[in-house]
Each structure stands twice: as C-alpha cells, then as structure tokens.
Amino acid sequence: MRKFFSIGLVRGLIWQMVGTALGIGILTGIRLLIGLPVWKAESAFVFGALLGAIFFLYGVGVLDDWIKVASGKEIPEHIEKSTLGWRRYFGVSLDHKVIGIQYLTLALVLMAVGGTFALIFRSELTETGMQFLTLMEYNTLMSLHGMVMIVGILIGIAAFMNYLVPMLIGARDMAFPRLNAFAFWLAVPAGIILLSSMALGGFDTGWTGYPPLSARAPIGMQMFFLGVSLAGFSTILGSLNIIVTVIRLRAPGMIPFRMPIFIWASIATSIISLTATQLIGLSFQMVMFQRLFGMGFFDPGKGGNPILFQHLFWFYSHPAVYVFVLPGLGLISEMLPVFARKPLFGYKWVAISSIAIALIGFLVWGHHMFASGMAEYLRVPFMYSTLLVAVPTGVKFFSWLGTLWRGKITYETPMLFLLAGIVVFLFGGLTGPPNATVSTDLHLTDTYFIVGHFHDTMFGGYVFPFFAGIYYWFPKMTGRRLNEKLGKLQFWLMAPAFIVLSLVMMKVGMLGMRRRIADYDPALQFVDENQIMTIAAFLIALGVLIFFINVYWSIQKGDVATGNIWNSRSPEWQVPSPMPVHNYKIPFVVVGEPYDYGLPGSVYVKFQEDPLHGTSK
Amino acid sequence: MKHVVIIVILVVACTFLIHTGLTNIGLLPVEASAQSVEIDRLFGIHIWLVSALFSLIMVVLLYSLIVFRRKKGETGDGAYITGNTTLEVLWTAIPLLAVIVLAYIGGKSLGIIRLIDPSALQVKVISGQWFWRYQYPDYGVTTTNLYLPVGRQVKLEMTSNDVLHSFWVPEFRVKQDLVPGRTTELRITPTLIGDYKVRCAELCGASHAYMEGLVKVVSQGDFDKWISDQQSAAPMDPVLRGQQLSQQLGCINCHSVDGSEKTGPTWLQLYQSEVELSDGSSVVADDNYLKTSIVNSNLQVLKGYPANVMPNFADLLDQTEVESLVAYIKTLK
C-alpha cells in the first residue's frame, strides 16, 4: 500500500481531489463572510478546479525543487534513478526520454478517449432521428471529441519533440529539465478538468466555444475553458524549452543547415506555440470572465462584440493546425530518405518551407470567418494570404517525390504509414483551395466538407506520421521491435477506411449536410453515406485496437532489436538501444550532411570511439 | 527520358479520367440562384485543379513506388541526388503564380455574387433558438416561411435574438451568419421555382440540427397573390393583430400568457400592475412602460429577471405593430 502511494501520479490525483474540495470550500466561505448568497456553483467549481490543478502539481512532486530553491535550500544536481522500472513513468522524472514516453502515453490515452467519443456519436448518426443519445449528450460528445483530440495531438507532438530533439542534436537533456517535467505534469490535471465538463452539464458549443452560445452553456463550459487554458500553458512552456534547447545545446558542427529536418519542423511548430497559444487562452478566459464577473466582452447587450472572439480565437487556432501538422510533415521528411535510401531532395527548401508555413500561417485566420459578418473587404486579403500557404506546402510534396525518385524503396510498416500520410495529406491539401476562395467557401463553410478536409489534414499530417514514428522509434525506446504483421494489418485496416470516410464526408458536405448536427433531414437521403462513414470509423478503431495489442505484446515478446535496424545515418541509431540515461556516453561531432544516403564512405556524425562495440564502458 | 514520357501520358489520362468522374457523380445540389451559377463555375475551376494536381502527384508517387522499389537481392542505396535548384525554383514560382491568378479569379467571383440590385426585395430575417421569422417591410407582412419571387434579387437584412445562427439554403450556395446586436446582409437572386429549406449552419445549441425552415420560390404572380392573402389575413383588429405578432415574433416563447413562469415575466395581469424593477424602484406597467419595454427592453428590467436577454425590437416593428402588441397585452387579465 505504501508502495502504491509512493507513485507520483496517485499522490497527485489525491491532492487534486483535496485541492478541488478545498477551493469550493474557500470560495463558499468567502461568500458567506462578505454576505453574498452562499452557494454559487459556477464560481465554486471554477475556483475548485483551478486550486485542484495547483494541488496536483504539488502532490505529484514537480514543484519540490522550486520550493526548496525559493526557501533558500540547496538542491543537488539531479541524478536519474533508472532502477525504478516501469514505476518511474508514473512519477516525476527529469529525463527527457521518460517525459517523452509519459507524453506519448498520455497522448494515446486522450486520443483513445476522444476517438471513443467519435464512435459513440458516429453510431448515433447511422440512422436519422435520435437513437440513444439526447441532443445535449450528442453536442457534448461532439464538442469534447474535438478538444480532447486537439489536446491529445498537442501532447503527442510534445512526446515526439521531447523524446527526439535532445537525442537528434546530441544533447544530454532539454535545456530546462524541471520546466520540462512541470509542463508535462500540468497537462495531466488539464486533461482531467477538460473531461470533468461531462459531469457538470456538458456543453453544446463545439470545440470553438463561440459566444454568445458559450456564455449561456452549462458549467461544463467553464471546465472546458479552464482545461484548455492549462493545456495551452503547458504547450507554451514546452515550446520555449524546445527552442532554447535547439539554440543552445546542439552538437559541435551542427550548423542550422545540418540539423535533422525534424528539428526544423520542431522549431517552426514551437515558434507558433510559443507566440500564438496565448490568444486562445485569452479568448477563452475572456468568456470565463464574462460568465463569472459579468464583463461583457462579447455581449452585444453591453456593447460587446461576438465577432471579436472569433478573431482572437482563430488567430491561434488556425496557426494551431500548422502546429499539429508541421511535426508530422517533419517526421515524413525525416524517415522517407531512410526507406528510399536516398538523400532528402532539396533539404534547404524543405527546411525553409516549414518556417514559411509557420509564418504565413499567422496571416490567414480570417478564412474561418468569411461568413461570420466581419468587415466584408477583409475577405479578399485573407483569400490571397490563405492561398499562399499552398506554395511552401507544394514544395514539401515535390521534395518527397524527388526523394523517392530513383531510390531503392522498401516497405516496412513505418514506410507504409509515411505513404498513407503523404496520400491523405494530399487529399487535405487539394481540398483546401476551395475553402480559400471566398465564394466557394460560402457554400462549403460549416458543412461536412470542412469536417472531411480537416480530418484529412489531421490524419495525413499527424495520425499516420505519428504511427510511422512510433513503429520507427519503438525499438529505440524499448530495445524491441513492434510486430510487423500486426503493424501491416493495422495499416490496411486504417488507411483505406479513413480515405473512404473522408471522401464520403466531403461529398455529403457539398450536397448539403451541415457539420455538428445531431440529426439530419431524411429528405436529404444521406442514410447510406452515413452508414458507410460509421462502418469506416469502426474499421479505423479496430486498427487502433490492433496497435494497442501490438504494443502490449511487443514490449514483452517483440523481436530484440538493439542495433541500427533501419540502417539510418542519424546519431541515435549509431548507439545501442534502448538509449541510456543522458543519451550519448561519448559525445559526437557532426562531420557530414544528415541525409547523404548513396554517397559511399560518408557519415553524418562521428564519435571519438565506436560506441557500438565501445571500449569506454 | 522513358520515365518522363510514360508519366506525362499517365498524368494527362488520369486528369481527364478523374475530372470526368468528379463532374458526373453529382457533387452539388441543383442551382437555384444566380449566385449558385457563378459559384459552381468557380467550383469547376477547382475541380480541374484538383484533378490535375492529384494526378500529377499520385502518378509520380505510385510510379516511383513500383519502378524504384528494392528488387529481390538488391543491396546498396539509391542514386545520390541531393536536389535540383532549377526544379525547386520552378515548383515554387509556378504555384506562386497559380495561386495569385486563382485568388484574382476568386476576387472577381466574390464581386459577381455580391452584385447589388437597387430594386431588390427587402426582407428582414430574425432568428433565435430555434426559429426563423421573416418580415416584408414593404408589405407589412410577417411570416415563418420565406416566400421569394423568382428572378428578383432579395436583400436579406438579418439579425439574431440570442446566439449566432447562419442562413444557408444549399441550393442557393451562399451562406451568412446572423449576429446578435448587429445586422448582416445576404443577397440572393432565386432562379428556379420550387420548395427549399433554410438550414442553420452555425452551431446554436441543442436543437441546432432541427433549425430548418421552408423557403418557397414562386412566380411573381403567385408571390403577389400570397402577399395580398397575408395582408388580408392580417386582422385589422389591433388585439388580434397583436396576438398574431406575439406568435410570429416568438414573444410567447419567453412570456407566458397564462401566468406560468418562463424566461421573461408573464403577460397575464401585467397591465396596470405595479412592478418592481431591478434597481429597487417600482413603476406602474402602463402603456408607456410596455411600449418602452418592447423597443428598448434593457431600460427597465423587472427584478429577478436577467438583463440583455430580450432583443430590442425598435428596428423590427413599426409604431402600429408596437401598439397592437400593447393592445393584446391589455386584454390578458
């Protein structure tokens, strides 16, 4: 029992419960003292949730070192305990690889939850009429599906960046290991608070939370706002850490244009996260304050402006989709040369295209608002800027084709997922311009076409590259390979089913099916299409289930793979798997280009001794 | 060179094949407005672009995957090609030019669908959770179904009672949000007689899915007849007129006429009663109070009821309509 309570996560959760109860009590007490009506559920729950999150952080132990420093105590240099076994993944660790795997686990849990929500409401849509959900339940599940997936994706990206960035640049760890752990553990109560909205009446606004609707939704809305704000704070801190790490801790000789391409993508993503996330936090907090304190920011009755919210919201939330896809596109560019056995075609162009997408991404938010009632003339400049994104995105596609051309391509599971990523992202890319030209968008906006387009970009730019990355680096994490047969089965279930799903979504959208509807007019005759979509969704879920089985099985019984199984030039594969604490025992120097496959005798990095058969142990 | 010839042939063939497919599977509803014709023309350009780019990338991709796969027994790496600056410049510059041209075409298209006809029929649209209401100020008609004469531009001046909604008839293509506290405009020129449905396209709460309403496009003759039917059906008696308005405008969704508790105060026995206001003072609910509350509802809010819930009807009602409503409220004793 004592052992059980020594697990950080368990202590954190207990503290969070205590903190929440205490917060509710304190607020009620203050109201009693100053003579207000004693019970006000909304304020009490918001304050309780906030205090609960802070208590969680204290309980899990991630504040310990800072508290010591603040009280003038010495803190020793952190020594990572590798003897704890699996239990170290459930408590505070400062090792970037442990934190990376913690992030990865949390991402998979959240995305499984968000995916389950989708399956539930997708089943509801199989027939017209309401089957087993109420309208409010449908809206809550649909809204939470969106935001839980988004938080899951952000955490999944943090997983890859945390695990890979220090390793790829030859650093011992992140620049700020304690901040790194703090950012991760903040995401845990954030996720819990976000999901707790279901218990507090849910909410019916979609993930966008537009007021005035969000100003009148049940208390669940506040948990949504608070959860997202905390998750956003975690992202800001995480991206700051990545930027500093890349600037300060690269191996000797790793000039910018010799960095692995995933590092470029991480930098591009982190620039957006660091500078734009504040805006979604701000817009959500403004609605929170409107509800709690009667500040009428978006309340037309008090001179507020509901459209202002949309500007603030999309100023983050459009760049955010590039946060979601840039690391995935970086993963594609990172792994494609390994499986094509050829240099990455036009490395510098690919690197700069990531930065270009990130920067142009800041100028396009208005295309979400063509029908919103914003100033009409603004629609034209936003149309131009939006279409510009196609140019750097095109550079990536052409570079991938150039990389495959005259290669010697092999088809292991990671490669299959990379190809699925390219094809599905192509669907997403090509269905973008009709949303950019205003007049066609006036037909498409707020329909299932957008749902299909968006899911294409997410699956192509994130989900498939994410699975490719897991299959590729799993041996580095565990010393064992994921099973290839199960991997291929997962691929052949997921990829075709998803393509069918998204194409049908776009078709019914063009024909008149609005998005975010709990029911649809039988007169539209969309029942067949909806049944196809539901079946496809379950096939995707089956694929994901097989993935979880694969992970469970392979951790224990997978083929042992400690060497450079992909025959990669990248530094992490030049040392045995799994990676030791603090990474490279012998530091490396960059002496060549990262992707010079096919150039005989060249290497990317050089260790002083050969670490595979090292004499230094 | 052999590779390039094969690829060019395949790309061209696929482009036409995909284009034929996409234009024949019925991707768009019927065109029922002048705007939809223009928008579908732009969709046509997009479909060509999608077909060509999809073919280009997929053909090269699949070709590479098949032709350049590692054959049995092969070892070693692929060709050492790190890039090609000419190609990179080309596939940056050509798309750049293409998107600028596309944006220009898009701008033109937006101009065409926003063309203003000064003689357009004016209709005021009021939306709320979860209903559509229409007023024809030129004819003094208020209704729950939208009737439009074919071939004449209609200017919809739209606002919302509560949250965001969006006016969308898929057959008309264009869409515009309705925003509380301001008026947004949408111009449509119906070209095809028939029955359509307006479907709210902006998530507006639990019953969003069901926020649909009938839109009838009729001939000018039928429209004139419908208008005169509506006008003669509108009771001359102010009390009956007020009762009808209270239903059409959705007043009775929040104000009961039988004393039951709803969002707003009940109208039963309201007239000439003494009411307590939110600032603590009391007034008598006379004619003047009722009129003010209809056109400027936040001026004197009753104690215990939230402010900023009821929209101001100043722009939506004329003097006689306000008086009719008051006349109706007076009868509720």
Is there a single domain that holds both residue B313 and residue B227? Answer: no
What is the dihedral angle through the alpha carbons of A389, A395, A397, A398, rounded to the nearest 10 degrees?
150
Q: Is the pLDDT of residue B308 over 80?
A: no
Is there a single domain that holds both residue A66 and residue A132? Answer: no
Is there a single domain that holds both residue A100 and residue A41? Answer: no
Is there a single domain that holds both residue A68 and residue A122? Answer: no
Neighbours of B276 (CB within 10 A): 12
Under an 8 A CB cutoff, do B182 and A373 touch? yes
Mean pLDDT within B169-174: 96
Residues of B in contact with A206 (CB under 8 A): 203
Cα distance between residue A462 and residue A325, in whole Å: 5
Assigned token pair, A228 = 């997202």
Q: Is the pLDDT of residue A78 over 90?
A: no
pLDDT tens-place string over residues A27-43: 999 988 988 887 888 89
Q: What is the CA radius of gyration of chain B?
A: 30
CATH number at residue A450: 1.20.210.10
- List strand residue ranges (DSSP E) for A11-101, in order: none
Cα distance between residue B215 and residue B205, in whole Å: 22
Assigned token pair, A198 = 């279901």
Residues of B in contact with A301 (CB under 8 A): 181, 298, 307-309
Is there a single domain that holds both residue A139 and residue A17? Answer: no
Q: Is the pLDDT of residue A154 over 60?
A: yes
Which of A 480-499 lie inside 8 A of B, CB atoms?
none
Cα distance between residue B228 and residue A593, in whole Å: 81
Cα distance between residue A363 and residue A53, in whole Å: 34
Closest CA to B242 of B333, B325, B125: B325
Report residue A81's pLDDT band, with 50, 70 and 90 as the boundaries.
Answer: low
Closest CA to A400 of A450, A357, A349: A349
Residue A83 lies in a domain: no
Cα distance between residue A318 and residue B300, in whole Å: 42
Cα distance between residue A130 and residue A519, in whole Å: 7
Q: Is the pLDDT of residue B5 over 70?
A: yes
Under an 8 A CB cutoff, do A301 and B49 touch? no
> Nearest CA to CA, how far is B140 from chain A (Å)?
27
Domain interval for residue A53: 1-72
Q: Is the pLDDT of residue A617 over 50?
A: no
Residue A185 lies in a domain: yes
Inter-CA distances, A583 with A81, A95, A105, A174, A263, Å: 14, 10, 21, 11, 17
**Exposure on the CB side of residue A415, measured as CA atoms within 13 A:** 16
- Indicate the number of domains in chain A: 2
A525 DSSP assignment: -
Average pLDDT, chain A: 92
Under an 8 A CB cutoff, do B87 and A213 touch? no
CATH number at residue B219: 2.60.40.420
Mean pLDDT within A204-227: 92
Name the residue with tokens 């052992």: A3
Chain A residue closest in CA terms to B46: A434
Chain B residue closest in CA terms to A215: B163
Is there a single domain that holds both residue A123 and residue A22? Answer: no
pLDDT tens-place string over residues B195-217: 999 999 999 998 999 999 999 99
Closest CA to A260 of A322, A324, A320, A171: A171
Cα distance between residue A483 and residue A20, in whole Å: 43
Residue B259 lies in a domain: yes
Mean pLDDT within A161-172: 95
Mean pLDDT within B128-137: 89
Residues of A in contact with B68 (CB under 8 A): 340, 404-409
Q: Are A418 and A464 in contact (CB under 8 A)?
A: yes
CB-CB: which of B46, B91, B207 is closest to A394? B91
pLDDT of B268: 86
Which of A 22-61 lie inside 8 A of B, CB atoms?
none
CB-CB: which of A405, A433, A523 is closest to B64? A405
Under an 8 A CB cutoff, do B46 and A433 touch? yes
Cα distance between residue A51 and residue B244, in whole Å: 53
CATH number at residue B312: 1.10.760.10
Residue A258 lies in a domain: yes
> Nearest CA to CA, how far is B232 from chain A (Å)?
33
Q: Is the pLDDT of residue A354 over 50?
A: yes
CB-CB: which of A204, A341, A511 is closest to B78? A341
Mean pLDDT within A122-143: 93
Under an 8 A CB cutoff, do A514 and B173 touch? no
Cα distance between residue A555 and residue A561, in whole Å: 12
pLDDT of B303: 80
Residue B77 lies in a domain: no
User: What ranges in A131-199 are assigned the alpha helix state H?
Assistant: 135-169, 177-196
Q: Is the pLDDT of residue A294 over 80?
A: yes
Spell out the residues 6+ positions from residue A262 whose beta carbon is closer than 8 angstroms to its own. Answer: A160, A164, A165, A168, A327, A330, A331, A333, A334
pLDDT of A615: 43
Per DSSP, the residues of A553-594 read HHHHHSPB--S-TT---SGGGGSPSSPPTTS-SS-EEE-S-T
Is there a single domain that holds both residue B137 and residue B226? Answer: yes
Under an 8 A CB cutoff, do B110 and A439 touch? yes
Report residue A609's pLDDT band, with 50, 70 and 90 as the boundaries.
Answer: low
Percent of chain A with pLDDT over 70: 97
- Indicate the number of domains in chain B: 3
Under an 8 A CB cutoff, do B205 and A391 touch? no
Chain B residue closest in CA terms to A440: B39
Least confident of A170-179, A437-446, B249-258: B249-258
Under an 8 A CB cutoff, do A371 and B166 touch? yes
Beta bridge partners of A514: A447
Who wins on pLDDT, B314 or B94? Answer: B94
Which amino acid type is present at position A167? M
> Nearest CA to CA, how far is A519 from chain B (Å)?
6
Sheet of B141-143: strand order equals B141-143, B131-136, B121-128, B154-160, B184-188
pLDDT tens-place string over residues A203-212: 999 999 999 9
pLDDT tens-place string over residues A458-486: 999 999 999 999 999 999 999 999 999 99
CB-CB: which of A388, A442, A516 is closest to B175? A442
Q: Are B256 and B262 in contact (CB under 8 A)?
A: yes
Residue contacts between A and B (CB atoms, under 8 Å):
283
Interface confidence (ipTM) of the complex: 0.91
Tell whether A589 is within 8 A of chain B (Cβ): no
Under an 8 A CB cutoff, do A516 and B203 touch? yes
What is the H or E stretch that residue B186 is in?
strand B184-188
Is there a single domain that holds both residue A60 and residue A125? Answer: no
> Nearest CA to CA, how far is A350 from chain B (Å)?
10
Is there a single domain that holds both residue A63 and residue A102? Answer: no
Is there a single domain that holds both residue B98 and residue B10? Answer: yes
Is there a single domain that holds both residue A127 and residue A67? Answer: no
Is there a single domain that holds both residue A7 and residue A151? Answer: no
Residue B78 lies in a domain: no
For CA atoms B317, B321, B323, B329, the dihedral sign is: negative
> Nearest CA to CA, how far is A98 from chain B (Å)?
34
Tell whether A135 is within 8 A of chain B (Cβ): yes
pLDDT of A491: 97
> Nearest CA to CA, how far is B147 from chain A (Å)?
20
Residue A314 lies in a domain: yes
CB-CB: which of B42, B65, B99 is closest to A409? B65
> Nearest CA to CA, how far is B279 from chain A (Å)?
17
Is there a single domain that holds both residue A146 and residue A3? Answer: no
Tell whether A443 is within 8 A of chain B (Cβ): yes
Residue A590 lies in a domain: no
CB-CB: which of A136, A301, A447 is closest to B308? A301
Assigned token pair, B106 = 């898009």
Is there a single domain that holds both residue B258 and residue B317? Answer: yes
> Nearest CA to CA, how far is B333 from chain A (Å)?
31
Average pLDDT, chain B: 90
Chain B residue closest in CA terms to A370: B176
Residue A395 lies in a domain: yes
Percent of chain A with pLDDT over 90: 83
Q: Is the pLDDT of residue A612 over 70?
A: no
pLDDT of A616: 41
Residue A593 lies in a domain: no
Is there a single domain that holds both residue A406 and residue A508? Answer: yes
Q: Is the pLDDT of residue A184 over 50?
A: yes
Q: What is the pTM of this model?
A: 0.90
Under an 8 A CB cutoff, do B208 and A423 touch? no
Assigned token pair, B282 = 């009391």
Chain A residue closest in CA terms to B26: A511
Q: Are B191 and B33 in contact (CB under 8 A)?
A: yes
For residue A470, report the phi and psi dihedrals to the nearest 5 degrees: -65, -45
Mean pLDDT within B245-260: 81
Is there a single domain that holds both residue A37 and residue A120? Answer: no
* Residues in chain A, overall count: 617
Domain interval for residue B259: 238-331
Residue B133 lies in a domain: yes
Is there a single domain that holds both residue B101 and residue B6? Answer: yes
Q: Are A612 and A603 in contact (CB under 8 A)?
A: no
pLDDT of B296: 80
Collapsed DSSP state (helix, strand, coil) of residue B149: strand
CB-CB: which of B57, B87, B173 is closest to A442? B173
Residue B55 lies in a domain: yes
Cα distance between residue A409 and residue A368, in whole Å: 40
> Nearest CA to CA, how far is A448 from chain B (Å)?
11
Under an 8 A CB cutoff, do B163 and A212 touch? yes
CB-CB: which of A139, A301, A373 is closest to B179? A373
